[in-house]
Amino acid sequence: MISALTPREPSEAQRRVADLLAAARSAVVLTGAGISVPSGIPDFRTPVTGMWANVDPMQIAHIDVWRREPERFWSFYAQRFHLLGPAEPNEAHRAVAELQRRGLIGPIITQNIDRLHAKAGADDIVEMHGSISHGRCLACGAQVAYDPLTQRIAAADNGVPRCDCSAPLKPGVVLFGEMLDAEAIERAFDACQQADLILVIGSSLEVHPVAGLPAIVLERGGELVLTTQGPTPYDDVATERLGGDVVDELAGVLTALG
């Protein structure tokens, strides 16, 4: 349960979102970087502070860079592991987990790799871009969990973690230049094809194919709720739009649900 926030009177928009969730036969949640900002994780596009504000991801976080220059790749990507690994879920993550616990939503489809939905207690999560929870060996197929992987990074003279078979390990995330996992795509599309409500939280809905998921629900006559501070391509067709702080907005929705 959410308990860290002082309850406040929900806004009319928050009450309407609560009503939509309560009435939905099948609801899904789609989250992006904005839900993790209150946990101290920068988003991607904000000037100066964004994850990719000062580097070109195509030149450093691309699968070809990992293959050709694993030392250069890991000199950058190890920083992401050290930033994301210790992060803790915020009240927005916990609110989403609570909605799932109450049976008001089904799968949580996330663009994030930070594991925070799982840490918050959610248990039906589709990680579209993979996760930092492990590293993978493309040579033998082995997986190495987060803690031993970071230990291998620290122990390596050149910072490149290696599998027991000696091949360099790759993060368990989808890098630039890679295809999304087919199973994750299928699960996400199936969930949206059955949903009559999609609640989008903290995503600008600019990256495909994830950006196309709300359209699947809308084409079925379903409802779209946006909870994000920035503009999206769906602003004009959303049933409701909550544009304030993501923690405050979701706390208000939970309060309205009672």
For residue 8, the enclosing domain spans 1-41+89-129+179-258
105-151 residue pLDDT tens: 999 999 999 999 999 999 999 999 999 999 999 999 999 999 999 99
Q: Are residues 185 and 240 in the same domain?
A: yes
Q: Are residues 114 and 211 in the same domain?
A: yes
209-237 residue pLDDT tens: 999 999 999 999 999 999 999 899 999 99
Q: What percent of the chain has pLDDT over 90?
A: 84
What's 211's DSSP letter?
Answer: G
Last residue of a domain, one of 158, 173, 188: 173
Q: How far apart are CA 118 and CA 205, in angstroms?
A: 22
Q: For the CA atoms of 75, 118, 32, 210, what is the dihedral angle to 10 degrees?
A: 100
49-97 residue pLDDT tens: 445 456 666 678 899 999 999 999 999 999 888 889 899 999 999 999 9
CB 204 within 8 A of CB 232: yes
Q: Are residues 6 and 112 in the same domain?
A: yes
20-32: b or e for each residue (b if 16 or more CB lie within 10 Å)?
bbeebebbbbbbb
Q: Are residues 71 and 98 in the same domain?
A: no
Q: Are residues 188 and 123 in the same domain?
A: yes
Q: Which CATH number is 250's domain given?
A: 3.40.50.1220
Last residue of a domain, one of 173, 202, 229: 173
For 63, 73, 157, 199, the CA distances from 67, given in Å and listed in that order, are: 6, 9, 18, 37
- Residues assigned a catalytic role: 129
Q: Are residues 122 and 136 in the same domain?
A: no
Q: Enter the pTM of the model.
A: 0.90
